[in-house]
């Protein structure tokens, strides 16, 4: 019975739960339907809002474009109004100034502005403008009115100074500032065209007044000088430098040097005033603030200008000679040929005919050295002390490049190429002219090195670099000079050899008629001596110092060797031997022109050797034992005796057996 009741109870509860579930399910479905419906409605509202927002944005863009259009019109209208108003204002101002000018012209100042002390500021503005106008008027027609305006100008300036002084004594800082603002525009203090002189005079005059008026005169003077540097000097420097910086570098560098020099000189004068305890640092900072932007790029502009200027000087010279510079390369076949030719005198190709042109110019050298000297001067003044040696060295390298390499070394290369081979006939030897001019240029180069570069680098590590570079350049050119001189001497000897070969006859020393010889020396000897005399003189003109003796010694030794070998080509009769002695005596006379003891000694010995050609056979041994021949090789003496025609017949060889 109990189980049945429990079962019925369970069934009833299950049924109730089913009904409850159905009710909840219906409610959920109803809520879901309501949610879907509201979601659709919200989506429609969002879409409507988006469309409304898009329409509003389009309206906003149209409004913005319209506002921009209106603003453009307003600006254009404003410009037009300003274009109309500005000339009108200027015309009104001009009419007003003309009215005041007429009062000065009439000599009666009727306007209240000039008579009312309370309007001194307005009067100051008017008188400044009238003063500027008066300066442009011709003196002869407007001298009176100009004097009146100037008088009023200085009178107002004096009144303002007095007002400033009074305000200072009363401690009215605001009034002092107001009066100072008006006084700032007065230029009465600067009465000369030279700004730096004006400033020095102004400060000298004001310094005394400041000491009498102010309780801290050093502060006031420092402020005044600071104002002068930051306004007057800086504006003057900027105006002078900016007008040439991009258009005329040469003038820019000159102006920079001049302005910096004069500014530092002015600072030195101003340092005599009481400007506080650290016045030198104060003045240095003022100078640095003005010039720092120019000094930072100075050395780059200096080097660029020097490169362009030096290149132009050289190109202008070569253009005047109608000369196209030849490339001078290294490591080429041409250089190999040149080296072989230098050492062997083989005719490897044709020498260049320079028509006597050395391609060295004193004018070019002077211009290059002058430009470099100016660069050194500017470098010394405008470079930071720490950068001075480095900057000076960079300028020196440009001098080496354009003067030593592009001009002197190039001329030496051309000169070497123009030297003919040793066997050339009637050769024109212009290389000695190159040597002469190169020596002169070396002296000028060395003088500038010592006078203008050394003081800038003498106490820095750059000194060693400079000396090494100078030595390297000079040694390289000396090698070429030595090579050219050696080859020129070879040409001289070759020319003498050519004269001897064409003029000396075998019959000169073995005449057919021994009793009818009328000449003192042979034609060949005469022409050789004349040629030698000219060449000795050329060497003296071309060289200087010990170089003269060195070259003449070498030429004399070669000259002696040539004559010695030449005489050994002939046989000598008794009269021929006498003529040979006469020739050697003439050669010896030419050797005296060398003024070299060794050369004269060689010809003395040769003269003694020639005596062997004429001495009696029985006296040969005695002559060979003489002072001049006793130290000579017996084979050499024997060789000379063998040149006698009677060598075999007189059995002269037994004297050397």
Q: pLDDT grade, residue 657 (50/70/90)?
A: very low
What pLDDT score does 518 carry? 58
Q: Express each pLDDT in 433-472 by its tens digit.
A: 888 899 899 999 999 999 999 999 988 999 999 999 999 9
Q: Is the pLDDT of residue 382 over 60?
A: yes
Residue 349, by phi and psi: left (phi above 0), alpha (psi -120 to 50) or beta? left
CATH code of domain 505-655 = 1.20.58
The residue with greater pLDDT, 25 or 514, is 25
Domains of the chain, by residue range, sit at: 1-89, 324-497, 505-655
Percent of the chain residues topping a pLDDT of 90: 33
For residues 588-605, one letter each, b for 16 or more C-beta atoms within 10 angstroms of the residue's C-beta and e for the rest, the string is bebbebbebeebbebbeb
Residue 275: its pLDDT value, please? 77
Predicted local distance difference test score (pLDDT) of residue 340: 57
Instruction: Return the top range by mean pLDDT from 95-104, 218-227, 245-254.
Output: 245-254
Tokens representing 87?
């000339």
Q: What is the average pLDDT across 570-595?
A: 90
Report d(CA 435, CA 300) in Å as an integer: 35
Element (H, E) at 288: helix 279-295
Mean pLDDT for the chain overall = 83
Low-confidence winner among 104-118, 421-435, 602-616 (lowest mean pLDDT): 104-118
- Higher pLDDT among residues 115 and 567, named by residue: 567
When mean pLDDT is compared across 73-82, 134-143, 167-176, 335-344, the lowest value belongs to 335-344
The confidence band for 424, taking pLDDT boundaries of 50, 70 and 90, is confident
In 296-387, where does DSSP find H-type helix? 298-320, 333-344, 362-382
Look up tokens 């000028």; give the residue: 444
**Stretch 551-557: mean pLDDT:** 94
Lowest mean pLDDT among 129-138, 253-262, 460-469: 129-138
Cβ burial, residue 528 (10 Å; 0-12/13-18/19+): buried
Query: Where residue 84 falls among pLDDT bands split at 50, 70, 90?
Result: low
Give the Å distances, CA to CA, from 183 to 32, 54, 154, 179, 419. 90, 64, 11, 6, 78
Give me the residues paired with residue 572 across strands: 644
pLDDT (average), residues 224-246: 87
306-355 pLDDT, tens digit per residue, is 999 999 999 999 999 888 887 765 445 555 555 555 555 454 445 565 66
Element spanning 455, H or E? helix 454-457
Most confidently modeled of 327-341, 388-402, 416-430, 610-624?
388-402
- Please compute, for residue 168, the number of CA atoms within 13 A of its CA located in the half-sphere on the CB side: 17
pLDDT reported for residue 192: 47
569 or 140, which is more confident: 569
């Amino acid at each position: 019975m109990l189980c049945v009741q429990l079962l019925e109870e369970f069934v009833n509860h299950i049924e109730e739960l089913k009904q409850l579930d159905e009710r909840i399910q219906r409610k959920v479905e109803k809520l879901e339907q309501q949610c879907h419906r509201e979601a659709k409605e919200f989506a429609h509202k969002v879409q409507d809002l988006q469309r409304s927002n898009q329409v509003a944005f389009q309206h906003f863009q149209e409004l913005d474009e319209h506002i921009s259009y209106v603003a453009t019109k307003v600006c254009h209208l404003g410009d037009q109004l300003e274009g109309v108003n500005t000339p009108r204002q200027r015309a009104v101002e001009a009419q007003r100034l003309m009215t005041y000018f007429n009062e000065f012209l009439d000599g009666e100042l009727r306007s209240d502005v000039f008579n009312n002390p309370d309007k001194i500021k307005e009067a100051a503005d008017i008188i400044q403008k009238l003063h500027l106008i008066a300066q442009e008027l011709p003196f002869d027609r407007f001298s009176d009115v100009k004097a009146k305006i100037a008088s009023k100008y200085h009178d107002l300036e004096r009144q303002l100074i007095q007002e400033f002084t009074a305000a200072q004594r009363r401690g009215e800082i605001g009034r002092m500032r107001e009066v100072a603002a008006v006084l700032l525009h007065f230029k009465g203090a600067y009465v000369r065209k030279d700004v730096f002189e004006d400033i020095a005079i102004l400060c000298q005059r004001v310094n005394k007044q400041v000491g009498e008026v102010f309780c801290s005169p050093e502060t006031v003077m420092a402020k005044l000088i600071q104002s002068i540097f930051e306004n007057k000097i800086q504006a003057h420097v900027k105006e002078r430098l900016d007008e040439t910086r991009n258009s005329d570098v040469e003038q820019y560098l000159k102006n920079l040097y001049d302005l910096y020099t004069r500014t530092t000189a002015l600072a030195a004068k101003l340092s005599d005033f009481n400007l506080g305890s650290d016045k030198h640092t104060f003045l240095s900072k003022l100078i640095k603030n003005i010039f720092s932007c120019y000094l930072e790029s100075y050395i780059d502009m200096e080097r660029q200008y020097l490169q362009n200027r030096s290149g132009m000087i050289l190109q202008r010279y070569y253009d005047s000679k109608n000369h196209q510079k030849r490339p001078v390369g290294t490591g080429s076949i041409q250089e190999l040929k040149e080296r072989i030719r230098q050492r062997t005198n083989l005719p490897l190709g044709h020498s260049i005919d320079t028509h006597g042109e050395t391609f060295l110019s004193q004018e070019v050298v002077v211009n290059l050295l002058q430009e470099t000297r100016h660069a050194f001067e500017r470098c010394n003044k405008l470079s930071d002390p720490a950068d001075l040696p480095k900057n000076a060295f960079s300028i020196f390298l440009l001098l080496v490049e354009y003067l030593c390499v592009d001009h002197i070394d190039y001329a030496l290369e051309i000169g070497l190429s123009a030297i003919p081979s040793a066997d050339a006939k009637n050769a024109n030897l212009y290389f000695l002219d190159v040597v002469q001019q190169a020596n002169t240029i070396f002296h000028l180069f060395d003088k500038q090195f010592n006078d203008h570069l050394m003081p800038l680098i003498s106490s820095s590590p750059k000194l060693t670099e400079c000396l090494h570079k100078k030595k390297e350049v000079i040694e390289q050119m000396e090698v070429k000079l030595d090579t050219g001189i050696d080859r020129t001497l070879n040409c001289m000897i070759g020319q003498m050899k050519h004269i001897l070969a064409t003029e000396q006859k075998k019959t000169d020393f073995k005449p057919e008629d021994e009793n009818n010889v009328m000449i003192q020396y042979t034609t060949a000897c005469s022409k050789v001596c004349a040629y030698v005399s000219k060449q000795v003189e050329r060497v003296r003109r071309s060289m200087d110092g010990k170089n003269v003796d060195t070259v003449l010694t070498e030429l004399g030794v070669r000259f002696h060797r040539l004559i010695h070998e030449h005489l050994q080509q002939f046989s000598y009769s008794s009269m021929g031997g006498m003529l040979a002695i006469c020739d050697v005596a003439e050669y010896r006379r030419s050797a005296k022109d060398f003024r070299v003891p060794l050369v004269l000694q060689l010809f003395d010995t040769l003269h003694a050797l020639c005596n062997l050609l004429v001495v009696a056979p029985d006296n040969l041994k005695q002559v060979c034992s003489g002072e001049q021949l006793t130290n000579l090789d017996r084979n050499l003496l024997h060789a000379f005796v063998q040149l006698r025609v009677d060598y075999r017949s007189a059995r002269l060889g037994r004297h050397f057996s």
